[in-house]
Amino acid sequence: MLDQKVADLLNQQINKEFYSAYLYLEFANFYETKGLDGFANWYKVQAQEERDHAMLFYQYLHNNSVSVTLEAIAKPECSLNGLSDPLKAALEHEEYVTSLINTIYAAANEVHDFRTLQFLDWFVKEQGEEEKNASDLITKMDLFGSDPKSLYMLDNELAGRVYAAPSLVL
């Protein structure tokens, strides 16, 4: 049986992951309006990943006989003006999600919930990758974003990203 605090944090994370999906759809929407379909594709794939992350938490709770409480998903509130704004907001958001995962991890560790720690190990690794990807996009935009031809090539590169479901076994 899961510790109540750990279960509550895991349940709250479901909402946070769905919010992340909404946020990334907002970023995709921004880039669609700018004619940058590759950037939009990148964030649509990100949104799919976040929805799957939410479902992993959902299934983990059910696998441990914990009822899930779904809450309202907040509307993303962000000011997107320049082409780099979503990229910077994404990095900030991924750092926030990392802090949430770390909080759950610490709570599980405190009560010696080794099964939950093992489940969360995948998310700890995933967050490292997410932060690096977000940081790399900012670097690329800083390097190439002011040159239309380079921006076009970067957009084409991002258009090639395809969704791959997570391979975490619950």
- Which residue carries 């914990």 as its tokens? 66
What pTM does this model have?
0.94
Q: Where are the domains of the chain?
A: 4-159
Q: What is the rounded CA–CA span in Å between residue 138 and residue 85?
A: 9
Output the pLDDT for position 166. 78
Q: Per residue in 14-60, pLDDT tens?
A: 999 999 999 999 999 999 999 999 999 999 999 999 999 999 999 99
Instruction: Average the pLDDT over 115-135 and give the result.
Output: 97
- Given a cut of 80, whether residue 143 has pLDDT beyond it is yes
H-assigned helices in the chain:
4-33, 37-63, 85-110, 114-144, 148-159
| Percentage of the chain exceeding pLDDT 90 | 93
CATH number of 4-159: 1.20.1260.10
Q: What is the rounded CA–CA span in Å between residue 116 and residue 119?
A: 5
Output the pLDDT for position 81. 95
